[in-house]
């Protein structure tokens, strides 16, 4: 009977998987990819184009139109029925196109945000997409990684994993490489296994892939549930609710009009039924949800090009209302490229440029040996602090490779965030062992009993401690990060590799001061955020002095504020949640904080009613990222756990990108507002026109007229408004706040007066055409009047699209014609509208007459008056606001 994977030794598993510790060759990976396929979970098949097309006909509005077509056939109006069906089909085709474009945008973003894994192939460590992993691959794991496939561990250094999603155990599990002899152990007891999608919370290790895709434990679960269906976003739900409410409201009005017409007895049942349907067609903004979706999707694509990858569509809209940005310092506000600036050695503080490393000073060897940096193709890979230490020695021609090979590491006590130290044991050439310790100077000094000066080891005293601590403080006030180094030489490797046993009676060797320079563009971005009414906070694990100094250099605080605006994690612990909520506006910089403090900070601001964006990159940042209104993960340094918990990922880890994303979010919101104002005011104008025509007993516009107007004016111009560039003052405005909606900021009142204005102008043209006809004959007069009303109602909406390019701003500016797609959409829409009147044959199909120059002049001037009147109203609104 074959042994289970967990019953085999590491070497036996490698043999079984036909692999080796140096990894597979690239050629072998290609073969196995063909055999096993991609390392992905099976998902439900995508909706086909035909299915999408059929879905378009399930909308209530479309059903109403199909009823209208049937009625037209019943009364002998076959041409009307054909036109209605043609418009319905065109709408359906365009709906499919919009849906496909939105899917493409979202799929592209999923690809950009695909998780990655570190594997060893051909003896080299490579970073690949998780989907490219195959059975037999050697995967390298570190704290913060998500396990990309099922693995049998072959190395483990204090590694712990969180497997709650699979086992239900909330406590991380200690991992080992030992054989498990228990028969059929539970999933949580297979401690030499690592399972796909579990999280590495501590330590590091390596494993050989034993299962990918649907052959993993997660894959077996996925096979049962086969992925939950995607739900619509809250934004889409709100818009659908708005559309549904409008639909039932207008249908109710249509029924009233039908009843009134029948009571008056001037029209037949069929005529009044068509009239009621015309009214419904005029009122319902059937294209609104699709237009909003595609505007959001295109916004996410633009953000991705600017290094902000949106993982959840609602985040686009929420970004625009962000009031607080709580940002990590390292890598986001700074370059995450540590550089050695100062060296404290032999009781002297020196500039790095004045130092020449040599073997006579233990400090330089300690910098190299107590270090997990790896060199891959001459590139340093690892923690920025550690790579800076190696880079410093390499640049000074003190060959790090030689030191590492000469004194190999034989044991270690990994870094722990609680004790803030890391230790290694390296074998010396004389057979003895060198214990190296690196970490926070305050913690290191607690464990030192002596120090070295010019090769002489002296007992530690108060004077020496004071000098070291003063030097540490002096460097910290200059925003310089300080690491202390100590060592000890012993005859054997410690039998118990624990801090209390190993890290004691140490010899202090020196301090290294490093700086992570602020990003050049961040100070300007902080200023832009301030002008936009957004408050920027710094959250860091660094010392209070270091954090305050960087904040001051970035313009976040002044010298006068440095004592009051900076708070530490220890000081936070002394405040209750209620006290923090009361005092939170006093603080700008949070220093020496733990991840759990971030959740408290977010909660405190949210209790103030603020919309908070929070950045994070570690496993423990996930709770605060989920708690924030916008969770922002780092794309380069961020763990897969933090990315999975986020709403947005910064592809460049740059704070300035957040401000860019906020601007894009504000633009998307503003453009959707413009489209909503345009669509609803246009539909209100159509409803008013038809309602008054019915009440006056006039000949009214038919369903085909309204359908055609909606097709040519609602589709292209509304989408084009979603592509408008940001208005120049968009980042000078205050955030709109949580309670705002697409109808706030004067949009609802604009919709009402502009809709009424469109209807009044159209009715005025109709009445004028009846009163002062250009042709004789009652039938011709009514045909001309109806045609002029049809042309005016269509054109007035096209001209009103220009008004809608800004809710309150004037369109008479140099940027009015900047949106080329908008210009073309207006031109195409105008041609499609005019064709129904001027092209012989088409005008017969649409029951309209050919207008003369005088009639066209009246139509065009009346339509243009919409621009003039609305711009005058906007001018008055701006004056009153000032």
> In sequence order, what DSSP letters do the residues of 163-191 get, joined into one string?
-HHHH---SPEE---SPP-SSS--GGG-T
Architecture of domain 308-334+519-653: 3-Layer(aba) Sandwich (3.40)
Q: In a 3-state reduction of DSSP, which class is residue 768?
A: helix
More confident residue, 219 or 721: 721
Q: In a 3-state reduction of DSSP, which class is residue 626?
A: helix
Write out the two tokens for 770: 């009846």
Distance CA 598, CA 627 (A): 9
Distance CA 540, CA 332 (A): 11
pLDDT band at 556 (very low <50, low <70, confident <90, very high): very high
> 421-427 and 409-416 as β-strands: parallel, antiparallel, unpaired?
antiparallel
Is residue 508 within 8 Å of residue 450, measured between CB atoms? yes
CA dihedral angle for residue 265, residue 271, residue 274, residue 278, rounded to 10 degrees = -70
When mean pLDDT is compared across 61-75, 623-637, 821-835, the lowest value belongs to 61-75
Mean pLDDT of the chain: 82
> 506-515 and 150-162 as β-strands: parallel, antiparallel, unpaired?
unpaired
Under CATH, domain 289-302+663-685+702-881 is a member of which superfamily?
Answer: Calcium-transporting ATPase, transmembrane domain (1.20.1110.10)
Distance CA 94, CA 825 (A): 14
> In sequence order, what DSSP letters do the residues of 145-168 get, joined into one string?
PBP-SEEEEEEEEEEEEE-HHHH-
CA dihedral angle for residue 300, residue 304, residue 306, residue 310, rounded to 10 degrees = 60
pLDDT band at 208 (very low <50, low <70, confident <90, very high): very high
Kindly report the CATH class assigned to 5-43+116-225: mainly beta
Which phi and psi (to 5°) does residue 751 adopt?
A: -60, -45
Query: Contacts for 239-246 with beta carbons within 8 Å, 24 or more apart?
Result: 239/288, 239/289, 239/292, 240/289, 242/288, 243/284, 243/285, 243/286, 243/288, 243/289, 244/60, 246/283, 246/284, 246/285
* Amino acid 641: pLDDT: 63
Per-residue pLDDT averaged across 329-341, rounded?
A: 81
Distance CA 105, CA 120 (A): 33
* Amino acid 65: pLDDT: 61
Write out the two tokens for 502: 């190993």
Across 61-75, 421-435, 697-711, the highest mean pLDDT is recorded for: 421-435
When mean pLDDT is compared across 221-235, 726-740, 772-786, 850-864, the lowest value belongs to 221-235
Residue 868, C-beta contacts closer than 8 angstroms, at least 6 positions apart:
none
- Identical fold at 5-43+116-225 and 308-334+519-653? no
Distance CA 326, CA 537 (A): 5
Across 40-54, 345-359, 813-827, the highest mean pLDDT is recorded for: 345-359
* Amino acid 234: pLDDT: 45
pLDDT band at 110 (very low <50, low <70, confident <90, very high): very low
- Helices 269-283 and 655-696 sit at what angle, rounded to 10 degrees? 160
**Structural fold of domain 339-515:** Calcium-transporting ATPase, cytoplasmic domain N (3.40.1110)
Share of the chain above pLDDT 90, in %: 29
Among 117, 196, 204, which Cα is nearest to 156's? 204
pLDDT at 22 over 60: yes
Distance CA 650, CA 656 (A): 10
pLDDT at 344 over 70: yes
Would you call 497 exposed, middle or buried from its count of C-beta atoms within 10 A (0-12, 13-18, 19+)?
A: middle
* Amino acid 169: pLDDT: 55
pLDDT band at 705 (very low <50, low <70, confident <90, very high): confident
Could you report the per-residue pLDDT of 663-696, keeping only the tens digit for each? 988 888 888 888 888 988 888 888 888 788 877 8
Q: In a 3-state reduction of DSSP, which class is residue 414?
A: strand
Among 98, 97, 106, 95, which Cα is nearest to 299's? 106
- Helices 655-696 and 522-531 sit at what angle, rounded to 10 degrees? 30
Is residue 584 within 8 Å of residue 605, measured between CB atoms? yes
More confident residue, 298 or 365: 365
Distance CA 359, CA 51 (A): 73
The pTM of the full predicted model, rounded to 2 decimals, is 0.65
* Amino acid 106: pLDDT: 43
Across 164-168, 378-382, 744-748, 787-791, the highest mean pLDDT is recorded for: 787-791
Among 597, 775, 760, which Cα is nearest to 681's? 760
Could you report the per-residue pLDDT of 46-61, keeping only the tens digit for each? 667 777 777 767 665 5
How big is the CA angle at 250 (ends 246 and 254), to the nearest 5 degrees? 170
pLDDT band at 566 (very low <50, low <70, confident <90, very high): very high
Per the listing, tokens 């005029």 go with 282
Q: In a 3-state reduction of DSSP, which class is residue 42?
A: coil
Per-residue pLDDT averaged across 399-406, rounded?
A: 90
Catalytic residues: 328
* Amino acid 165: pLDDT: 56
Domain layout of the chain by residue ranges: 5-43+116-225, 289-302+663-685+702-881, 308-334+519-653, 339-515
> 348-351 and 124-129 as β-strands: parallel, antiparallel, unpaired?
unpaired
> In sequence order, what DSSP letters do the residues of 290-306 get, joined into one string?
HHHHHHHHHHHHHHHHT
Per-residue pLDDT averaged across 528-548, rounded?
A: 87
* Amino acid 346: pLDDT: 93
Among 807, 803, 790, which Cα is nearest to 282's? 790
Could you report the per-residue pLDDT of 286-295, keeping only the tens digit for each? 666 667 767 7
Is residue 389 within 8 Å of residue 368, measured between CB atoms? yes
Among 282, 273, 283, 267, which Cα is nearest to 696's? 267
Give the CA diameter of the chain: 119
* Amino acid 230: pLDDT: 43
Question: What's 125's DSSP letter?
Answer: E
Per the listing, tokens 């009514």 go with 782
Could you report the per-residue pLDDT of 361-380, keeping only the tens digit for each? 899 999 999 998 888 777 88
Across 54-63, 178-187, 367-376, 808-817, the highest mean pLDDT is recorded for: 367-376
Is residue 719 within 8 Å of residue 95, measured between CB atoms? no
* Amino acid 638: pLDDT: 73
Q: If you compute the radius of gyration of the chain from its CA atoms, what whole number of angstroms results?
A: 35
Which phi and psi (to 5°) does residue 191 adopt?
A: -80, -5
Residue 85, C-beta contacts closer than 8 angstroms, at least 6 positions apart:
66, 69
Write out the two tokens for 621: 């940042």
pLDDT at 637 over 50: yes
When mean pLDDT is compared across 194-198, 306-310, 744-748, the lowest value belongs to 744-748
pLDDT at 168 over 50: no
Helix or strand run (H / E) with residue 202:
strand 199-211
Per-residue pLDDT averaged across 488-511, rounded?
A: 92
> 535-539 and 506-515 as β-strands: parallel, antiparallel, unpaired?
unpaired
Question: What's 807's DSSP letter?
Answer: S
């Amino acid at each position: 009977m074959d042994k289970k994977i967990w019953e085999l030794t590491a070497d036996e598993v490698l043999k079984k998987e036909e692999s080796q510790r140096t990894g597979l060759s690239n050629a072998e990976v290609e073969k196995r990819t063909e055999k096993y396929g991609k390392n992905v979970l099976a998902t439900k098949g995508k909706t086909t184009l035909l299915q999408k097309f059929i879905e378009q006909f399930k909308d209530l509005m479309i059903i109403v139109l199909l009823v209208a077509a049937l009625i037209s056939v019943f009364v002998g109006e076959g041409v009307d029925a054909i036109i209605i069906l043609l418009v319905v089909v065109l709408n359906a085709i365009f709906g499919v196109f919009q849906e496909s474009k939105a899917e493409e945008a979202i799929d592209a973003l999923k690809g950009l945000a695909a998780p990655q894994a570190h594997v060893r192939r051909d003896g080299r460590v490579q970073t690949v997409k998780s989907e490219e992993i195959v059975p037999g691959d050697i995967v390298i794991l570190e704290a913060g990684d998500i396990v990309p496939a099922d693995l049998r561990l072959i190395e483990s250094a204090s590694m712990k994993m969180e497997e709650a999603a699979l086992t239900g155990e909330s406590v991380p599990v200690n991992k080992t490489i030992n054989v498990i002899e228990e028969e059929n152990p539970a999933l949580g007891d297979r401690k030499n296994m690592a399972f796909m999608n579990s999280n590495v919370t501590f330590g590091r290790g390596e494993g050989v892939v034993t299962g990918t895709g649907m052959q993993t434990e997660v894959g077996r679960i996925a096979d049962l549930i086969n992925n939950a269906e995607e739900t619509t976003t809250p934004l889409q739900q709100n818009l659908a609710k708005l559309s549904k409410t409008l639909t039932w409201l207008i249908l109710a009005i249509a029924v009233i009009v039908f009843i009134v017409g029948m009571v008056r007895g001037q029209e037949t049942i069929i005529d009044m039924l068509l009239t009621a349907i015309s009214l419904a067609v005029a009122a319902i903004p059937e294209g609104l949800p699709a237009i909003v979706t595609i505007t959001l999707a295109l916004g996410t694509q633009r953000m991705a090009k600017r290094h902000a990858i949106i993982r959840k569509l609602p985040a686009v809209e929420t970004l625009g209302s962000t009031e607080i940005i709580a940002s990590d310092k390292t890598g986001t506000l700074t370059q995450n490229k540590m550089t050695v600036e100062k060296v404290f050695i032999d009781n002297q503080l020196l500039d790095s440029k004045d130092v020449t490393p040599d073997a006579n000073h233990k400090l330089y060897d300690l910098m190299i040996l107590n270090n997990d940096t790896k060199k891959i193709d001459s590139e340093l890979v690892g923690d920025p602090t550690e790579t800076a230490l190696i880079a410093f020695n390499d640049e000074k021609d003190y060959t790090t490779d030689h030191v590492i090979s000469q004194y190999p590491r034989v044991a270690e006590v990994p870094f722990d965030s609680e004790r803030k130290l890391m230790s290694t044991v390296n074998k010396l050439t004389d057979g003895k062992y060198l214990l190296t310790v690196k970490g926070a100077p305050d913690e290191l000094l607690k464990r030192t009993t002596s120090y070295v000066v010019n090769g002489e080891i002296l007992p530690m005293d108060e004077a020496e401690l004071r000098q070291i601590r003063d030097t540490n403080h002096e460097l910290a006030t200059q925003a310089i990060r300080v690491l202390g180094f100590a060592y000890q030489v012993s005859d054997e490797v410690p039998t118990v590799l624990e801090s209390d046993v190993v890290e004691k009676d140490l010899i202090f060797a020196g301090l290294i001061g490093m700086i992570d320079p602020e990003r050049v563009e961040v100070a300007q971005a902080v200023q832009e955020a301030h002008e936009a009414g957004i408050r920027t906070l710094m959250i860091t694990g660094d010392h209070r002095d270091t954090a305050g100094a960087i904040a001051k250099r970035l313009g976040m605080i002044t010298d006068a504020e440095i004592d009051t605006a900076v708070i530490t994690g220890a000081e936070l612990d002394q405040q209750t949640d209620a006290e923090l909520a009361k005092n939170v506006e006093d603080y700008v910089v949070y220093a020496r904080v733990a991840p759990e403090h971030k959740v408290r900070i977010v909660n405190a601001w949210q209790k103030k009613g603020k919309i908070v964006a929070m950045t994070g990159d570690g496993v423990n940042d996930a709770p605060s990222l989920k708690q924030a209104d916008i969770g922002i993960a780092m794309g380069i340094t961020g763990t897969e756990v933090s990315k999975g918990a986020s709403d947005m990922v910064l592809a460049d880890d740059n704070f300035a990108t957040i401000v860019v994303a906020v601007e894009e979010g504000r633009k998307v919101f503003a453009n959707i507002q413009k489209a909503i104002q345009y669509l609803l005011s246009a539909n209100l104008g159509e409803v008013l026109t038809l309602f008054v025509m019915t009440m006056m007993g006039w000949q009214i516009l038919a369903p085909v007229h309204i359908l055609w107007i909606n097709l040519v004016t609602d589709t292209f111009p509304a989408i084009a408004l979603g592509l408008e560039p940001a208005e120049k003052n968009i980042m000078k405005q205050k955030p709109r706040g949580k309670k705002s909606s697409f109808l706030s900021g004067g949009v609802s009142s604009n919709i009402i007066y502009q809709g009424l204005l469109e209807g009044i102008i159209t009715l005025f043209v109709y009445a004028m055409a009846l009163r002062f006809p250009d042709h004789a004959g009652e039938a011709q007069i009514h045909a001309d009047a109806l045609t002029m009303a049809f042309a005016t109602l269509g054109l007035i909406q096209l001209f009103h699209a220009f008004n809608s390019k800004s809710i309150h701003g004037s369109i008479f500016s140099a940027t009015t014609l900047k949106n080329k797609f908008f210009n073309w959409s207006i031109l195409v829409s105008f041609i499609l509208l005019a064709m129904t009147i001027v092209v012989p044959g088409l005008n017969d199909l649409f029951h309209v007459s050919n207008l003369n120059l005088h009639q066209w002049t009246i139509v065009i001037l009346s339509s243009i008056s919409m621009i003039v009147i609305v711009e005058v109203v906007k001018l008055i609104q701006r004056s009153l606001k000032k």
